Protein backbone atom coordinates (compact mmCIF):
# COMPACT_ATOMS: atom_id res chain seq x y z
CA UNK A 1 0.00 0.00 0.00
CA UNK A 2 2.79 2.43 0.89
CA UNK A 3 4.64 1.60 -2.33
CA UNK A 4 1.52 2.51 -4.32
CA UNK A 5 1.25 5.81 -2.42
CA UNK A 6 4.86 6.62 -3.22
CA UNK A 7 4.45 5.77 -6.91
CA UNK A 8 1.46 8.13 -7.15
CA UNK A 9 3.29 11.14 -5.72
CA UNK A 10 6.60 12.95 -5.60
CA UNK A 11 8.45 9.74 -4.70
CA UNK A 12 7.58 7.97 -7.96
CA UNK A 13 10.32 5.46 -8.72
CA UNK A 14 11.44 5.27 -5.09
CA UNK A 15 11.60 1.82 -3.53
CA UNK A 16 11.15 1.15 0.17
CA UNK A 17 12.94 -2.11 0.93
CA UNK A 18 11.07 -3.25 3.98
CA UNK A 19 13.50 -6.10 4.61
CA UNK A 20 15.78 -3.33 5.83
CA UNK A 21 13.38 -2.49 8.66
CA UNK A 22 14.41 -4.90 11.38
CA UNK A 23 15.57 -5.38 14.94
CA UNK A 24 19.32 -4.84 14.96
CA UNK A 25 20.01 -6.08 18.49
CA UNK A 26 18.40 -7.20 21.74
CA UNK A 27 19.99 -6.93 25.19
CA UNK A 28 18.95 -8.18 28.63
CA UNK A 29 19.77 -5.68 31.36
CA UNK A 30 19.53 -6.19 35.14
CA UNK A 31 20.46 -3.50 37.66
CA UNK A 32 19.48 -2.91 41.28
CA UNK A 33 16.72 -5.49 41.36
CA UNK A 34 15.14 -4.36 38.09
CA UNK A 35 15.41 -6.08 34.74
CA UNK A 36 14.64 -4.91 31.24
CA UNK A 37 14.78 -6.05 27.66
CA UNK A 38 16.33 -3.48 25.34
CA UNK A 39 15.74 -3.49 21.60
CA UNK A 40 17.38 -1.42 18.87
CA UNK A 41 15.58 -1.19 15.54
CA UNK A 42 14.81 0.94 12.48
CA UNK A 43 11.54 2.79 12.97
CA UNK A 44 9.44 4.02 10.03
CA UNK A 45 7.16 7.09 10.17
CA UNK A 46 4.75 6.79 7.22
CA UNK A 47 3.21 10.26 7.57
CA UNK A 48 6.59 11.98 7.51
CA UNK A 49 8.15 9.48 5.05
CA UNK A 50 11.25 9.22 7.23
CA UNK A 51 12.95 6.74 9.57
CA UNK A 52 15.14 6.68 12.66
CA UNK A 53 17.46 4.38 14.57
CA UNK A 54 15.43 3.76 17.74
CA UNK A 55 16.12 2.26 21.18
CA UNK A 56 13.30 0.96 23.40
CA UNK A 57 12.97 -0.96 26.66
CA UNK A 58 10.40 -3.18 28.34
CA UNK A 59 10.19 -3.65 32.12
CA UNK A 60 10.31 -7.36 32.99
CA UNK A 61 9.47 -6.94 36.67
CA UNK A 62 11.34 -8.76 39.42
CA UNK A 63 10.56 -12.36 38.39
CA UNK A 64 13.72 -14.09 37.22
CA UNK A 65 11.86 -16.83 35.33
CA UNK A 66 12.16 -16.29 31.60
CA UNK A 67 9.08 -18.42 31.06
CA UNK A 68 7.01 -15.87 33.01
CA UNK A 69 8.03 -12.85 30.94
CA UNK A 70 5.15 -11.39 28.98
CA UNK A 71 5.66 -8.23 26.96
CA UNK A 72 2.88 -6.67 24.90
CA UNK A 73 3.28 -3.97 22.26
CA UNK A 74 2.14 -1.26 24.67
CA UNK A 75 4.78 -2.29 27.24
CA UNK A 76 7.64 -0.92 25.16
CA UNK A 77 8.96 2.50 26.16
CA UNK A 78 11.04 4.55 23.72
CA UNK A 79 14.35 5.53 25.33
CA UNK A 80 15.81 7.47 22.41
CA UNK A 81 15.42 8.05 18.69
CA UNK A 82 18.49 9.12 16.75
CA UNK A 83 18.08 12.54 15.14
CA UNK A 84 17.20 13.69 12.60
CA UNK A 85 14.41 11.55 11.17
CA UNK A 86 16.04 10.59 7.85
CA UNK A 87 13.78 11.36 4.86
CA UNK A 88 13.36 8.97 1.97
CA UNK A 89 15.82 9.55 -0.85
CA UNK A 90 13.89 10.17 -4.07
CA UNK A 91 14.41 7.61 -6.82
CA UNK A 92 15.88 4.10 -6.52
CA UNK A 93 16.42 2.72 -3.03
CA UNK A 94 14.82 5.23 -0.68
CA UNK A 95 16.69 3.88 2.33
CA UNK A 96 19.41 1.34 3.14
CA UNK A 97 18.26 -0.35 6.33
CA UNK A 98 20.99 -2.98 6.18
CA UNK A 99 23.53 -0.29 7.15
CA UNK A 100 21.90 0.60 10.47
CA UNK A 101 24.58 -0.65 12.87
CA UNK A 102 22.40 -0.75 15.96
CA UNK A 103 24.36 -3.03 18.29
CA UNK A 104 24.06 -2.85 22.11
CA UNK A 105 26.52 -3.60 24.92
CA UNK A 106 26.60 -3.11 28.70
CA UNK A 107 29.04 -0.57 30.11
CA UNK A 108 28.32 0.00 33.82
CA UNK A 109 25.18 0.45 35.90
CA UNK A 110 22.36 1.77 33.75
CA UNK A 111 24.77 2.91 31.03
CA UNK A 112 24.95 1.05 27.74
CA UNK A 113 26.76 1.59 24.44
CA UNK A 114 24.64 1.82 21.28
CA UNK A 115 26.18 1.87 17.80
CA UNK A 116 24.33 3.78 15.09
CA UNK A 117 25.07 3.45 11.38
CA UNK A 118 24.84 6.08 8.65
CA UNK A 119 22.28 4.13 6.57
CA UNK A 120 24.39 4.45 3.41
CA UNK A 121 23.70 8.18 3.14
CA UNK A 122 27.36 9.19 3.24
CA UNK A 123 28.69 6.61 0.77
CA UNK A 124 28.31 8.78 -2.35
CA UNK A 125 28.52 12.20 -0.72
CA UNK A 126 30.73 14.74 -2.52
CA UNK A 127 30.03 17.98 -0.63
CA UNK A 128 31.28 19.40 2.65
CA UNK A 129 32.35 16.48 4.89
CA UNK A 130 30.91 18.31 7.88
CA UNK A 131 27.45 17.91 6.37
CA UNK A 132 27.60 14.11 6.30
CA UNK A 133 25.62 12.18 8.90
CA UNK A 134 28.72 10.49 10.30
CA UNK A 135 30.73 13.73 10.70
CA UNK A 136 27.99 16.15 11.75
CA UNK A 137 27.97 16.38 15.55
CA UNK A 138 24.27 17.28 15.52
CA UNK A 139 23.20 13.86 14.20
CA UNK A 140 22.93 10.51 15.94
CA UNK A 141 24.16 8.51 12.93
CA UNK A 142 27.63 7.15 12.20
CA UNK A 143 28.23 7.39 15.95
CA UNK A 144 28.86 5.43 19.12
CA UNK A 145 26.33 6.57 21.71
CA UNK A 146 26.50 6.31 25.50
CA UNK A 147 22.95 5.97 26.79
CA UNK A 148 21.68 5.98 30.37
CA UNK A 149 18.55 3.85 30.10
CA UNK A 150 17.21 5.18 33.41
CA UNK A 151 17.45 8.93 32.65
CA UNK A 152 17.47 8.81 28.85
CA UNK A 153 20.62 10.95 28.80
CA UNK A 154 22.68 10.35 25.66
CA UNK A 155 26.27 11.29 24.84
CA UNK A 156 28.11 10.90 21.53
CA UNK A 157 31.43 9.23 22.32
CA UNK A 158 32.75 8.48 18.80
CA UNK A 159 31.94 9.45 15.23
CA UNK A 160 33.03 8.73 11.67
CA UNK A 161 31.56 5.22 11.48
CA UNK A 162 29.71 3.72 8.52
CA UNK A 163 27.96 0.54 9.64
CA UNK A 164 29.13 -0.56 13.12
CA UNK A 165 27.71 -4.09 13.40
CA UNK A 166 30.02 -5.47 16.08
CA UNK A 167 30.34 -4.12 19.63
CA UNK A 168 32.00 -5.45 22.77
CA UNK A 169 33.09 -3.87 26.06
CA UNK A 170 36.11 -5.33 27.86
CA UNK A 171 36.45 -5.62 31.68
CA UNK A 172 38.38 -2.32 31.84
CA UNK A 173 35.68 -0.40 30.00
CA UNK A 174 37.45 -0.43 26.62
CA UNK A 175 35.04 -0.41 23.70
CA UNK A 176 35.75 -2.54 20.62
CA UNK A 177 33.64 -1.86 17.54
CA UNK A 178 33.75 -3.28 14.03
CA UNK A 179 32.83 -1.07 11.10
CA UNK A 180 31.53 -2.63 7.91
CA UNK A 181 33.15 -0.61 5.12
CA UNK A 182 32.60 -0.70 1.39
CA UNK A 183 35.05 -2.52 -0.91
CA UNK A 184 37.82 -3.17 1.60
CA UNK A 185 38.25 -0.80 4.48
CA UNK A 186 36.44 -2.96 7.04
CA UNK A 187 37.78 -2.01 10.45
CA UNK A 188 38.17 -2.99 14.07
CA UNK A 189 38.29 0.15 16.21
CA UNK A 190 38.97 0.81 19.89
CA UNK A 191 37.95 3.65 22.18
CA UNK A 192 36.82 4.57 25.67
CA UNK A 193 34.01 6.88 26.77
CA UNK A 194 36.53 9.71 27.32
CA UNK A 195 38.54 9.71 24.09
CA UNK A 196 35.90 11.00 21.64
CA UNK A 197 37.66 9.64 18.51
CA UNK A 198 36.74 10.37 14.90
CA UNK A 199 37.27 7.24 12.77
CA UNK A 200 37.03 9.15 9.51
CA UNK A 201 34.05 7.90 7.49
CA UNK A 202 33.38 9.10 4.82
CA UNK A 203 36.42 11.38 4.59
CA UNK A 204 39.12 8.68 4.71
CA UNK A 205 39.29 4.92 4.29
CA UNK A 206 41.72 2.15 3.41
CA UNK A 207 39.03 0.78 1.10
CA UNK A 208 37.29 2.00 -2.04
CA UNK A 209 33.80 2.46 -3.43
CA UNK A 210 32.30 -0.67 -4.94
CA UNK A 211 33.31 0.59 -8.40
CA UNK A 212 36.90 0.91 -7.06
CA UNK A 213 36.92 4.71 -6.93
CA UNK A 214 38.59 6.24 -3.91
CA UNK A 215 36.31 6.67 -0.90
CA UNK A 216 38.24 9.67 0.33
CA UNK A 217 36.78 13.18 0.47
CA UNK A 218 40.23 14.46 1.41
CA UNK A 219 41.78 14.08 -2.05
CA UNK A 220 44.08 11.18 -1.15
CA UNK A 221 43.55 7.43 -0.99
CA UNK A 222 44.26 4.68 1.53
CA UNK A 223 45.11 6.73 4.56
CA UNK A 224 43.71 8.06 7.81
CA UNK A 225 45.56 11.36 7.97
CA UNK A 226 43.93 13.67 10.49
CA UNK A 227 41.70 10.96 11.93
CA UNK A 228 41.95 8.20 14.51
CA UNK A 229 43.50 4.99 13.25
CA UNK A 230 41.72 1.64 13.38
CA UNK A 231 43.19 -1.23 15.38
CA UNK A 232 43.30 -3.03 12.04
CA UNK A 233 41.75 -2.55 8.61
CA UNK A 234 40.80 -5.59 6.54
CA UNK A 235 41.73 -5.47 2.87
CA UNK A 236 40.23 -7.42 1.17
CA UNK A 237 36.98 -7.00 3.08
CA UNK A 238 35.75 -9.64 5.55
CA UNK A 239 32.19 -8.32 5.98
CA UNK A 240 32.56 -7.88 9.77
CA UNK A 241 29.54 -8.50 11.95
CA UNK A 242 29.62 -9.33 15.65
CA UNK A 243 32.62 -8.66 17.91
CA UNK A 244 33.47 -10.30 21.23
CA UNK A 245 36.33 -9.42 23.59
CA UNK A 246 37.49 -12.74 25.06
CA UNK A 247 37.84 -12.88 28.85
CA UNK A 248 37.86 -16.08 30.91
CA UNK A 249 37.85 -18.23 27.78
CA UNK A 250 41.41 -19.60 27.58
CA UNK A 251 44.71 -18.08 28.78
CA UNK A 252 46.11 -18.19 25.24
CA UNK A 253 43.09 -16.37 23.83
CA UNK A 254 42.04 -13.99 26.62
CA UNK A 255 42.45 -10.38 25.53
CA UNK A 256 41.86 -11.24 21.88
CA UNK A 257 38.85 -10.00 19.92
CA UNK A 258 36.79 -12.48 17.96
CA UNK A 259 35.04 -11.03 14.90
CA UNK A 260 32.22 -12.69 13.01
CA UNK A 261 32.30 -12.38 9.24
CA UNK A 262 29.77 -12.67 6.44
CA UNK A 263 32.21 -14.62 4.24
CA UNK A 264 32.25 -17.91 6.14
CA UNK A 265 35.07 -17.00 8.53
CA UNK A 266 35.68 -15.97 12.12
CA UNK A 267 38.68 -13.72 12.69
CA UNK A 268 40.70 -13.90 15.90
CA UNK A 269 42.51 -10.59 16.41
CA UNK A 270 45.43 -10.60 18.87
CA UNK A 271 46.23 -7.07 20.05
CA UNK A 272 49.05 -5.36 21.93
CA UNK A 273 48.67 -1.75 23.06
CA UNK A 274 45.46 -1.44 21.05
CA UNK A 275 47.10 -2.53 17.79
CA UNK A 276 46.55 -5.81 15.96
CA UNK A 277 49.63 -8.05 15.95
CA UNK A 278 48.11 -11.23 14.53
CA UNK A 279 44.84 -11.82 12.69
CA UNK A 280 43.96 -15.51 12.48
CA UNK A 281 41.14 -16.53 10.11
CA UNK A 282 39.06 -19.50 11.26
CA UNK A 283 36.97 -21.12 8.56
CA UNK A 284 33.38 -21.87 9.62
CA UNK A 285 31.47 -21.90 6.34
CA UNK A 286 28.62 -19.82 7.82
CA UNK A 287 27.74 -16.11 7.99
CA UNK A 288 28.17 -15.04 11.62
CA UNK A 289 25.98 -12.19 12.85
CA UNK A 290 26.26 -12.71 16.61
CA UNK A 291 28.78 -14.14 19.07
CA UNK A 292 28.14 -14.66 22.79
CA UNK A 293 30.33 -15.94 25.62
CA UNK A 294 28.60 -18.74 27.52
CA UNK A 295 29.01 -19.16 31.29
CA UNK A 296 30.83 -22.49 30.88
CA UNK A 297 33.48 -20.93 28.61
pLDDT of residue 221: 65
pLDDT of residue 131: 94
The span from the CA of 16 to the CA of 93, in Å, is: 6
pLDDT band at 91 (very low <50, low <70, confident <90, very high): low
Average pLDDT of the residues in 71-85: 95
pLDDT of residue 7: 64
pLDDT of residue 95: 78
The span from the CA of 110 to the CA of 124, in Å, is: 37
DSSP 68: G
Residue-wise pLDDT for 201-237, tens only, equals: 999 998 887 787 777 666 666 678 889 999 999 988 9
pTM of the model: 0.93
Q: Residue 54 pLDDT more than 90?
A: yes
Average pLDDT of the residues in 168-197: 95
The span from the CA of 24 to the CA of 35, in Å, is: 20
Highest mean pLDDT among 2-11, 167-176, 221-230, 285-294: 167-176
Burial of 127 by CB count in 10 Å (0-12 exposed, 13-18 middle, 19+ buried)? exposed
Nearest 5 degrees, angle CA 25-CA 29-CA 34?
145
Average pLDDT of the residues in 72-95: 88
Q: Residue 25 pLDDT more than 70?
A: yes
Q: Residue 8 pLDDT more than 80?
A: no
* The dihedral sign for the CA sequence 188, 193, 195, 196: positive
Q: Residue 1 pLDDT more than 90?
A: no
Strands 50-59 and 86-87: antiparallel
The span from the CA of 103 to the CA of 11, in Å, is: 31
Beta strands in the chain (DSSP E): 14-15, 23-31, 34-45, 50-59, 76-81, 86-87, 92-93, 101-108, 111-116, 143-148, 154-159, 166-169, 175-179, 186-191, 232-234, 240-245, 257-261, 265-272, 275-283
Range scoring the smallest mean pLDDT among 28-37, 54-63, 214-223:
214-223
Give the contacts of 85 (CB within 8 A, at least 6 positions apart): 45, 48, 50, 51, 52
3-class secondary structure, 9: coil
Average pLDDT, rounded, for the chain: 90
Residue-wise pLDDT for 100-157, tens only, equals: 999 999 999 999 999 999 999 998 888 888 999 999 999 999 999 999 999 999 999 9
Amino acid sequence: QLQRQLDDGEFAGTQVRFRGFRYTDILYHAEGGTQHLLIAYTEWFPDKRCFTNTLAKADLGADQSVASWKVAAEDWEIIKRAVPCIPLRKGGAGMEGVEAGGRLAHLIGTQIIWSSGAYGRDDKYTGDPGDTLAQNDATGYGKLLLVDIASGEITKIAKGLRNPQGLSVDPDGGIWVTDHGMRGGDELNYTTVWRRPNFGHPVVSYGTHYDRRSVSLSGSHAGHDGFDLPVVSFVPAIGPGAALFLDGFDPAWDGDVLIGGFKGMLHRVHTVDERAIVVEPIKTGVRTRDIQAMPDG
